[in-house]
Amino acid sequence: MRNTIARTEILNLIKGSKIALSHAEMETKLKGLCNRVTIYRVLERLEEEGHIHKFVNVDGLLKFAACHSCDRVHHHNHAHFSCITCGEVTCLEDVEPTFKISPKYEVMEMNFTLSGVCPNCL
């Protein structure tokens, strides 16, 4: 993908954020730099390139966060924490959920989000 201003700013926004961001949050922070469709296209491409990952939060919102150890293949077997007070969502990279599933199924992706009150709100 060409290194456009929109791509650079979106990637910097996500990498500079300590929390996962929704499309709407990014659109607000970008202050009209690009339109909604451009943001969606850039996010899709950044995910394909292994720079970011996405997951569905407990409230059904799609959130995006920076990848730290991906190189075209996503390795996101970590949990996310959603604060019920401030609404921030954080990657819990050191929390790896486990589950048992019948060998008849092939798991391609998983979403594991914990909900409660974050350290900043306690």
Please check whether residue 58 is in contact with residue 113, taking contact to mean a CB–CB distance below 8 angstroms: yes
More confident residue, 43 or 112: 43
> For residue 22, is pLDDT > 90?
yes
Axis-axis angle for helices 36-48, 23-30 (nearest 10) = 120
Please check whether residue 60 is in contact with residue 49, taking contact to mean a CB–CB distance below 8 angstroms: no
More confident residue, 14 or 69: 14
pTM surpassing 0.85?
no
| pLDDT tens for each residue of 31-72 | 999 999 999 999 999 988 889 988 888 888 899 999 866 555
**What whole-number percentage of the chain has pLDDT above 90?**
54
In the predicted model, what is the mean pLDDT of the chain? 87
Please enumerate, as own/partner, the contacts of 77-80 that have beta carbons within 8 Å and a separation of 24 or more.
Answer: 77/110, 78/112, 79/112, 79/113, 79/114, 80/20, 80/55, 80/111, 80/112, 80/113, 80/114
- Asked which of 5-9, 30-34, 98-102 is least confident by mean pLDDT, the reply is 98-102
Query: Would you call 64 helix, strand, or coil by DSSP?
Result: strand
pLDDT at 1: 47
**What whole-number percentage of the chain has pLDDT above 70?**
91
Mean pLDDT of 95-122: 88
